[in-house]
Amino acid sequence: MKIHEYQARNLFAQYGIPVAAGDVAQTPEEALSIARKAGLPVVVKAQVLVGGRGKAGGVKVVDNEADLVSEFNRIKQLNIKGYTVERLLIAKAVDIRKEYYLAVTIDNIKGDVVVIACADGGVEIEETAKTHPERIIKFYMQGAKELDEARWAPVAAQLFDDLRLRKSVTAILQKLLKLFFEKDCSLAEINPFVINGEGNLMAVDAKVIIDDNALDRQPEAAALRDMKYEDPDELEAKTKGLSFVKLEGNVGCIVNGAGLAMGTMDGVNLLGGRPANFLDVGGSSNPEKVLNALKIILRNKDVKVILINIFGGITRCDDIANGILTALKQIQIHVPMVIRLTGTNEKEAKELLTSAGLRTFSSMRQAVTEAVKATK
């Protein structure tokens, strides 16, 4: 879950990472009052959960109140990558001497937390990674949650000549790591991380992503979720007890169990199709879940076929069959359904479906082949 810059910088401040004075505003009056408190010049920044706000005209430094109001109104009208701007951050403008990059994230391939630092900040790090990969410093935590200062010291020295700044970056990184682990982040990024006019290090931007799987134990973070950026189908699926992720393809998949759901998606890809979604109806037998799953999948106009793949264990095939039959009565299903059932109460399920005129399969390969064929 991404959070807004103003929320992320509040976390930074809470952990003692230096940020400029400022606050979030929804109206020009609020913006003025924040600017009067912080002192001009201020920077006006669109709060949207997409990158490249600067390039899209969503970040502007102003040095007087008239410009503040006009820039506030201009930025508020912007549409940044499809998103309207509802809130703006007003913060005391920083006199930037030099921009750096500092982040903590997870390297999924190494299975380790990594600190990424770079002496060219501000610009998109992905760009530097392509053009000057040698300039990006990666410092692996090697499983530790606290900074191994002896191992880190040479990296700090590579970034800063000044001994005071080496100490300062070390202290800030320790705070960023604390925040990263305590708040279950997958990313805590400062870009740009700058030397200001007084020669001190501070964060000029703040980006924090919190692991969705940790939200149950991070209620404060969960409350920061901006629903505007959530997929409405995924939200609905969650309230109905379904694990659902929308994808780009056209084979709608209804499967029980996350492992089989992944396997089914692999199967669809291997046999030349593209799954429209990941959907796990879970382990319990509940015909209602099948009905809800069908409703959600059929809203996706790209879907050309529905592939139902059930391996009956705790899930009873006849419950799934009843769910399908209920759905046929209640909703208009305008695409073919390919149904594969095996395991608990398979025979009963197949009888139910066959007598309703539906064809069923026992082999997953056959069913997936049939479903992919229906999309061509």
Residues that bind Mn ion (CB under 5 A): 191, 205
59 binds, among ligand GDP, Mn ion, none (CB under 5 to 8 A by kind): ligand GDP
53 binds, among Mn ion, ligand GDP, none (CB under 5 to 8 A by kind): ligand GDP
Query: Total residues at the site for ligand GDP (CB under 6 A)?
Result: 17
101 given a catalytic annotation? yes
* Residue nearest to Mn ion according to CB distances in the complex: 205
Compare residues 93 and 338 and give the one whose CB is closer to ligand GDP: 93
Nearest distance in Å: CB 231, Mn ion = 25
Catalytic-labelled residue, pool 189, 248, 288, 370: 189
**Least CB distance from residue 375 to ligand GDP, whole Å?**
39
94 is a contact residue toward ligand GDP (CB under 6 A): yes
Nearer CB in complex with ligand GDP: 205/233: 205
Under rule CB under 6 A, residue 96 binds ligand GDP: yes
Binding site partner of 204, from ligand GDP, Mn ion, none, Cβ cut-off 5-8 A by kind: ligand GDP
Interaction between residue 19 and ligand GDP (CB under 6 A)? no
Pairing of strands 201-203, 185-196: antiparallel
In this complex, which beta carbon is closest to Mn ion, that of residue 121 or of residue 249? 121
Distance of alpha carbon 316 from alpha carbon 314, whole angstroms: 6
71 makes contact, choosing from ligand GDP, Mn ion, none, with CB < 5 to 8 Å by partner type, with: none
Element (H, E) at 45: strand 42-46
Contact present, 26 and 86 (Cβ < 8 Å): yes
- In the complex, the smallest distance separating the C-beta of residue 103 from Mn ion, rounded to whole angstroms, is 11
Instruction: List, in order, residues 6 or more apart from 19 with CB less than 8 Å away.
Output: 9, 12, 13, 91, 202, 203, 206
Report which residue type is found at 98: K
**Which residues on neighbouring strands pair with residue 72, listed in sequence order?**
none
Angle at 331 between CA 258 and CA 376, to 5 degrees: 65
Say if CB 201 and CB 172 are below 8 A apart.
yes
Q: CA 76: distance to chain centroid?
A: 24
**Near ligand GDP by CB under 6 A: residue from 44, 62, 93, 374:** 93
Cis preceding linkage at 192, omega within 30? yes
Give yes or no for residue 122 binding ligand GDP (CB under 6 A): yes
| Minimum CB distance to ligand GDP smaller for 228 or for 299 | 228
* In the complex, minimum distance from the CB of residue 39 to ligand GDP, in angstroms, rounded to a whole number: 12
Two structure tokens written together for 276: 């429209």
DSSP characters over 67-125? HHHHHHHHHHH-EETTEE---EEEEEPP-EEEEEEEEEEEETTTTEEEEEEESS-SS-H
Q: Minimum distance between the CB of residue 214 and ligand GDP, rounded to whole angstroms?
A: 25
Instruction: Note whether 116 and 107 are within 8 A (CB).
Output: no
| Contact flag: residue 118 with ligand GDP (CB under 6 A) | no
Of 94 and 305, which CB lies nearer to ligand GDP in the complex structure? 94
- For ligand GDP, the binding residues in 33-92 under the rule CB under 6 A are 43, 45, 51-54, 59, 61
Least Å distance between CB 52 and ligand GDP?
6
How far apart are CB 56 and ligand GDP at their closest, in Å? 8
Catalytic residue (choose from 99, 101, 346, 370): 101
Task: Measure Cα distances from 48 to 6, 51, 215, 310 in Å.
Answer: 10, 8, 21, 40
Q: Which residue type occupies 54?
A: G
| Whether 333 contacts 305, CB under 8 Å | no
Question: With respect to ligand GDP, which residue has the nearer C-beta, 4 or 45?
Answer: 45
Question: What secondary structure letter does DSSP report for 19?
Answer: B
Query: Looking at the annotation, which residues are catalytic?
Result: 101, 189
- Residues interacting with ligand GDP, by CB under 6 A? 43, 45, 51-54, 59, 61, 93-94, 96, 99, 122, 191-192, 204-205
